[in-house]
Amino acid sequence: MNVDTTLFWRVQNLCRQDSSISDDNGKIGITGTCSGGRYTFLTACRAPGFDAAVEMWGGAVVMAPDQLNEKRPVAPIDYTKDLSCPLLGLFGNDDQAPSPAQVDQHEEELKKHGKDYEFHRYDGAGHGFFYYDRPAYRQQQAMDGWEKIFGKWYCWKCVPKVIRSIEVWGIVIAGIIGAILGIMIRW
């Protein structure tokens, strides 16, 4: 077991043992935007035990051979066969990291391995379209994305444990929790 896998195994087990939440459903999810989306996908592939994952415009999941190096010797897409939980993906069609062609490749790999996933793509949205404090923000697309995350798809899979797993470690995962905390801090 490598260091990353050990860390996530410990987080998972600590969260599963913490019964201080009355609405605990015993499930753990992982989310991330941008490079956090990449790490979400990598973690869901390399550390079994998550119940759901949300990858939001994860850059560098699909990588060309010339992009691989000593620090990134394997493209995350090459781990798709090991994805251990359902995956929700949200992407802007105006994004170039990942580009629509890379999202197509990502989706084809998921289909090839028979994975449980759902991808949503948004016209008029580029990279970071959830970031309400930046020019890239697209309210309509972001609101639809939030509905996908906290609505039918993701809530049924594990929402209460997503939030609890982050509280336990004091970690803010870029994306959903980061946005929520950002709003709360500004108020």
Could you list the beta-strand ranges (E) of the chain.
29-33, 52-56, 87-92, 117-122
Q: Which of 1-15, 34-48, 169-183 has the highest mean pLDDT?
A: 34-48
Euclidean distance between CA atoms 100 and 115, whole angstroms? 20
Per-residue buried b or exposed e for 28-64, using 16+ beta carbons within 10 Å of the residue's own CB: bbbbbbbebbbbbbbbbbbbebbbbbbbbbbbbbbbe
Euclidean distance between CA atoms 53 and 44, whole angstroms? 7
Among all residues, which ones are annotated catalytic?
A: 34, 95, 127
Residue 124 DSSP symbol: T
User: Regarding the domain delimited by 3-13+22-186, which CATH topology (the fold level of the hierarchy) does it fall under?
Assistant: Rossmann fold (3.40.50)
Q: How confident is the model at residue 3 (pLDDT cuts 50, 70, 90)?
A: very low
Q: How many CB atoms lie within 10 A of CB 94?
A: 16
Percent of the chain with pLDDT over 70: 67
How do the domains of the chain map onto residue ranges? 3-13+22-186
Q: What is the pLDDT of residues 44-76, one digit of tens each?
A: 999 888 888 999 999 999 999 999 999 889 999
Q: 139 is written with which tokens?
A: 């309210």
Euclidean distance between CA atoms 45 and 60, whole angstroms? 15
Residue 91 has pLDDT above 70, yes or no: yes
Euclidean distance between CA atoms 183 and 65, whole angstroms? 40
Q: Which pTM was predicted?
A: 0.74
**117-122 and 87-92 beta bridge pairing:** parallel
Give the amino acid at 75. Answer: A
Please state the rounded mean pLDDT for residues 104-126: 97
Beta carbons within 8 Å of 159's beta carbon, 6+ residues apart: 29, 150
